[in-house]
Amino acid sequence: MVNLRKTGRLFSSLGLVSVVGLASAGVLPLKADEVDSAPTAEVDAPANAPTDSVEPGLEGFQTYVLPRAFSLQIPEGWVASGSASDRYAVITNYAPRDRVGAPQAGDIKTEVRFVSQPPETFVDQSIGEIVANQYEVSYFRATVVDDLPALRLWMTDLPLEYPNQVVTYVGYASYGTAVITSHYVDATPETDALIQQIHNTFTLVFQ
């Protein structure tokens, strides 16, 4: 059984969220992985801005870069577009212009954004919305992304266009919060592993 007090203290120390509150709200099951805490850090933001770009990455992957915002590795052939001024990007494994109607089996849509709110504020608000909408969080765990503490949630059977979501929150202390949300149709181990691999490559960039 999960030690919710310990897990709650872990997330609280990361400046993310109180898991005890989630469990008491009936949103989270009593199940989670626990990891060693990682230090939070203040991040200063320099200037400069090249154009949106995609570079060679890991084998079978390429690095998508949104200037002065973030980068992450995505499978070759996937479609990515974003706005540097909004610090927001959408990545799909299909060409959006070719998709008409409801998502098809195998479709994956990932939204990536960076907000100026600190994690203790933004994540708490996001969790409040999940509770208010009565969405089911089937699993959660603390992890590390970009060498910083992160919280990952799995939601299933959603009454939305895509029935499944994996959401990763990465805390950058007072500088802000990154949130990576993958929407998908088929909940398979292969899809889950691929989504986590993409989320884990998120990195904040300043040029």
pLDDT tens digits, 38-66: 333 333 333 333 333 444 456 789 999 99
Contact by Cβ (8 Å): 28, 8: no
pLDDT of residue 59: 75
Q: In one letter, which amino acid is 93?
A: N
If one compares 17 and 36, the residue with the highest pLDDT of the two is 17
Contact by Cβ (8 Å): 142, 151: yes
pTM: 0.77
* 188 has pLDDT over 80: yes
pLDDT tens digits, 20-39: 344 444 444 434 444 333 33
pLDDT of residue 58: 64
- Cα dihedral across residues 100, 104, 106, 111: positive or negative: positive
The mean pLDDT value for 106-125 works out to: 95
The mean pLDDT value for 84-97 works out to: 93
Q: Which residues pair with 80 in a beta bridge?
A: 91
Q: Decide: residue 206, CB within 10 A, 0-12 exposed, 13-18 middle, 19+ buried.
A: middle
Q: Which domains does the chain have, with CATH numbers?
A: 4-204 (3.40.1000.10)
pLDDT of residue 145: 96
Alpha-carbon distance 41 to 44, whole Å?
10
The mean pLDDT value for 113-126 works out to: 94
- Cα dihedral across residues 50, 83, 201, 128: positive or negative: positive
The number of angstroms, rounded, from the C-alpha of 80 to the middle of its chain's C-alpha atoms is: 16
Contact by Cβ (8 Å): 151, 136: no
Two tokens, residue 67? 């200037």
